[in-house]
Amino acid sequence: MSVKEALKESLISFFEYKTPKIVHIKSKRVGVLNRIIQTLIIAYIIGFVIIAKRGYQEFSGIESSVTTKVKGIVSTKNLTADDFNDNYKDDKDLYIRVWDISDLVVPASENGAFFVTTNMIITPNQTLGICPEDADVSDAVCDPKVKDWCVDKVFQLGHGVSTGKCVNSSRKDVHTCQIEGWCPVEKDDYPLKNNTPMFTATKDFTVLIKNSINFNSYNVRRRNIIEIDNSSKLQDCTYHPDYNPGCPVFVLNDIVKGAGQDYDTISQYGGVIGIEINWDCNLDFDVKYCVPKYSFKRLDDPYTQIAKGWNFRYAYYNSNYRTLYKATGIRFVLLVSGSAGKFNFIPLVIKIGSGLGLLAITTIICDIVVLYLQKGGKYYKDKKFQYVEQVDNDYTDVLATNLRKRTASNEQNTPLSDS
């Protein structure tokens, strides 16, 4: 056969159809087993992968912008001298007043979060100077009889730099090293007796959450404030999971309750609450069904006994003095997530492709049953397998002759090609 002929034959062969030869075994038992396994796999692919997980859709990520506005007023005018701890008797007027958002929501603007103060220690009129260290800084407690106790000591967890002297502290009968720094130092305890948080009334504060999202791939933009609402309705409504799930105004107490927490308890040491806004949209339906679901969750661990809750210090500075605030409270963090799916041919084809791959498992299992686990396996094996001897070196010529004959007989157009 010349090269030209060989090429021609290859080309012809290339455009002819090749399909696997299938052994059709008339065994109902294995046939039914086969169909059951196939049905299970197909049911899994169609039911779970394609329908339940929406495998026929292409999904788009989410781009989100969220802003919040807290509203509310707290009055602590009902507190009396008896409510305060003894060491706050002189300072109590600092705390008996009316508080607004600018007093209690600190910092004024945070990206995707807001903090509401629930308890506070105010240290007014601190100046740079000399005063006794806080008796709670255990390193700084000294014995005035021992000379040089305080010399060359550094209190990294304290409030200043030791001057070397041991002096009376603000706590009775306790001496502490004298320090240089912002004086006087902050008190250790909160103002109210029994660790009562001062601003539990912030539970009635409301927050308006404005969340605008964008599904980039589909250029679909949605906002959590639904269009039919008008301004007056918006100011009046408050979110309720069942009766008013579309209202964007939340009472803080509802949020905390939704997270399974008690506002009064969390107020004591502070904490972190997540406000989750989930947009799970199916854009094959009308876009009006694409609305957010809110859920609430406490994010920090309430069960720890050490370094419990959340507090931080900030100060307002004036010319030569400052007012220091230790604010304990609840940080609310907004977590926006979601995705949008829309029918697309490509993911569907891919899912079907992998499904076909999985179907191969059927044949493997049934073959094992047919060939090894039932009577007559050897018989089926003989049918499934066509045994071909190896071409030995010695034997090649004979075979070649044989083959040439067979090829010739094939060319005589016998439909029974394999005998």
* 206, 222, 333, 386 from 277: Cα distances, Å: 17, 13, 11, 63
62's tokens? 């989410």
Note whether 122 and 88 are within 8 A (CB).
Answer: no
Q: Which of residues 82-121 bind its own copies (CB under 8 A)?
A: 97-98, 100-103, 106-113, 115
Nearest to 96 by CA among 202, 199, 207, 209: 199
Question: How many C-beta atoms surround the C-beta of residue 105 within 10 A?
Answer: 23
In the DSSP assignment, the letter for residue 415 is: S
CB of 145 to its own copies, least distance (A): 26
Question: How many C-beta atoms surround the C-beta of residue 118 within 10 A?
Answer: 30
**Contacting its own copies (CB under 8 A), which of 24, 145, 147, 172?**
24
Q: What is the dihedral of CA 405, 407, 412, 414, to 10 degrees?
A: 110
Q: From CA 216, how far away is CA 212, in angstroms rounded?
A: 13
* 74, 84, 253, 311 from 267: Cα distances, Å: 14, 17, 11, 11
Q: Per CB under 8 A, which region of 169-177, 188-196, 226-234, 277-285 contacts its own copies? A: 226-234
CB of 190 to its own copies, least distance (A): 17
Identity of the residue, 80 or 407, whose beta carbon is nearer to its own copies in the bound complex = 407
Identity of the residue, 191 or 274, whose beta carbon is nearer to its own copies in the bound complex = 274
Strand extents, DSSP E, 216-285: 220-223, 249-251, 271-282
CB of 30 to its own copies, least distance (A): 4
Identity (one letter) of the amino acid at 190?
Y
Q: Which of residues 254-293 bind its own copies (CB under 8 A)?
A: 272, 274
Q: From CA 281, how far away is CA 400, in angstroms rounded?
A: 67
Taking CB under 8 A as the rule, does residue 2 contact its own copies? no
Identity of the residue, 39 or 87, whose beta carbon is nearer to its own copies in the bound complex = 39
Nearest to 314 by CA among 332, 331, 334, 328: 328
Q: Per CB under 8 A, which region of 79-87, 168-176, 239-247, 317-325 contacts its own copies? A: 317-325
Identity of the residue, 108 or 373, whose beta carbon is nearer to its own copies in the bound complex = 108
Taking CB under 8 A as the rule, does residue 402 contact its own copies? yes
Q: From CA 47, how far away is CA 53, in angstroms rounded?
A: 9
Q: Are strands 113-132 and 160-168 parallel, antiparallel or unpaired?
A: unpaired
**Contacting its own copies (CB under 8 A), which of 6, 7, 23, 52?**
23
Identity of the residue, 18 or 172, whose beta carbon is nearer to its own copies in the bound complex = 18
**Contacting its own copies (CB under 8 A), which of 3, 4, 5, 21?**
21
CB of 359 to its own copies, least distance (A): 8
Note whether 119 and 267 are within 8 A (CB).
Answer: yes
Q: Which of residues 202-221 bind its own copies (CB under 8 A)?
A: 204-206, 208, 210, 212, 214, 221
Identity of the residue, 13 or 147, whose beta carbon is nearer to its own copies in the bound complex = 13
310's tokens? 């959340």
Q: Which of residues 341-380 bind its own copies (CB under 8 A)?
A: 346, 349-350, 352-354, 356-358, 360-361, 363-364, 366-367, 370, 375-376, 378-380
Q: Which of residues 115-154 bind its own copies (CB under 8 A)?
A: 115, 128, 154
Query: What x-and-dash track marks residues 153-182 binding its own copies by CB under 8 A?
Result: -xxxxxxxx------------------xxx
Binding positions for ATP = 69-71, 206, 311-313, 326
